[in-house]
Amino acid sequence: MQTAQDKHVLQEEYAIAGEIVPIIDLGPFLAEEPGAAHTTANEMRDALERIGFFFIINHGIPKSLRDRLVEATARFYALPLEQKMALKVNEEGNGYVPTRGELPKTSPYYTGTRKPDVSECYLLQRDWGPSHRPTQNQWPENESGFRTTVMEFFEAAEDLSIRMLPLYALALDLKPDFFDDKFPKCQGLNFLRVARMPPDRLDEDEFNVGPHTDSSFMTLLATSDQPGLEILSQSGRWLKMPLIPDAFVINSGDMLTRWSNGRVLSTPHRVINASDTYRYSIPFFLHPTPETVIECLPTCCGPDNPAKEPPITSAAYLQWFLEENFALGDKVYNEAGEQVTVQETA
């Protein structure tokens, strides 16, 4: 059994250049202690509205699972490029994205000159379990250990994210069960992004992951032991996020910002791997069911604060995001940041 962590000790130890990224202890809430839901939701409200990022500790996902996930990810990326390219990301957004196959153009920080990301990633959705959506991942052959471990982490991340939904509802002054029917187990448009970032020196205006915001309702991030994540604080500074043992990084995404009429922040972030070895990053992106309509929450608008965005379904929003930011199918990005076919680059 893992030893419980003390958030007050960790908060002091991992303060970032005078700015605080909150550390939220989920232990009391998950143990259903009296009053814990409202106390934790109040802490989350502050984090969501002030910075858009926070760490969670005592979350119940074993460190051993994260370690096995990183090991399995490293084995996958050790495969020959030809085997990985056979899994090239399809129009549904499932599969392998080679280095320079992603360029976050929906980010307000995209200048039109920034180069595609220097990283590889493998995108997958749920294609197992009861009532799962009709999608099909492109799993590598003869790598059952990778598949099993990735599925195990997906399950754990989804379960924890769903358990946290009442906290988001309370933080937004809604009934605790408000989001329950919008995120049923196995039916959301959830994604896992399994990424590798090389230690190679980056050119000017080049990143392992360029400045961007996430499409999701929320993102739960697991990484290997190499730092690199930076977030843009409200003071305008890029903050280097520390690595807190056995903690996950949580951030709110564009979908929740849209739902909350801008009340919740979707904070720009980027990755620069400054270590001398590969960095592995495995974020889980929580999205509602395809038919869920994202429209301004009743507690986030009023006569003096009308809805800023029109309603849109979760499926339509996510498809737009994928097409704008990823070279799907037989497309890749050239040096000018334009999508071209693989044949055109040969």
Query: Within a domain: residue 46?
Result: yes
Predicted pLDDT of residue 113: 60
Phi, psi of 126 (to 5 degrees): -75, 125
Neighbours of 337 (CB within 10 A): 16
Exposed e or buried b for every residue in 200-209, given b needs 16+ CB within 10 A?
eeeeeebbbb
Round to the nearest angstrom and report the end-to-end CA distance of the chain.
53
Query: Within a domain: residue 294?
Result: yes
Number of domains in the chain: 1
- Alpha-carbon distance of 252 to 174, in angstroms, equals 17
Q: State the 10-residue block means of pLDDT for the chain, 346 residues long.
A: 77 69 96 98 97 96 96 96 92 85 59 76 91 83 92 98 98 98 94 95 89 94 94 90 94 97 96 95 97 97 95 92 66 60 57
CA-based angle 138:103:98, to the nearest 5?
Answer: 35
Query: Within a domain: residue 31?
Result: yes
| Strand 269-271 with 209-212, pairing | antiparallel
Residue 155 token pair: 């399950």
Query: Within a domain: residue 1?
Result: no
- Alpha-carbon distance of 267 to 250, in angstroms, equals 11
Q: Is 95 helix (H, G, I), strand (E, B) or coil?
A: strand
Query: Within a domain: residue 296?
Result: yes
> What's the Cα-to-Cα distance from 35 to each of 55, 167, 173, rounded to whole Å?
21, 12, 16
Residue with token string 């500074």 = 237
Predicted pLDDT of residue 330: 60
Query: Within a domain: residue 2?
Result: no
C-alpha atoms less than 13 angstroms from C-alpha of 316 in its C-beta half-sphere:
8
Phi, psi of 337 (to 5 degrees): 80, 20
Question: Which residues in 178-275 belong to E strands, given as ranges?
Answer: 191-197, 209-212, 218-223, 229-232, 238-240, 248-252, 269-271
**Range of 99's domain?**
7-345
Predicted pLDDT of residue 73: 97
Residue 52 token pair: 């858009």
- Alpha-carbon distance of 274 to 276, in angstroms, equals 7
Rg, C-alpha atoms of the chain? 19
- Alpha-carbon distance of 229 to 246, in angstroms, equals 16
Query: Within a domain: residue 77?
Result: yes
- Alpha-carbon distance of 331 to 90, in angstroms, equals 10
Predicted pLDDT of residue 302: 93
Which CATH number fits the domain that encloses residue 55?
Answer: 2.60.120.330
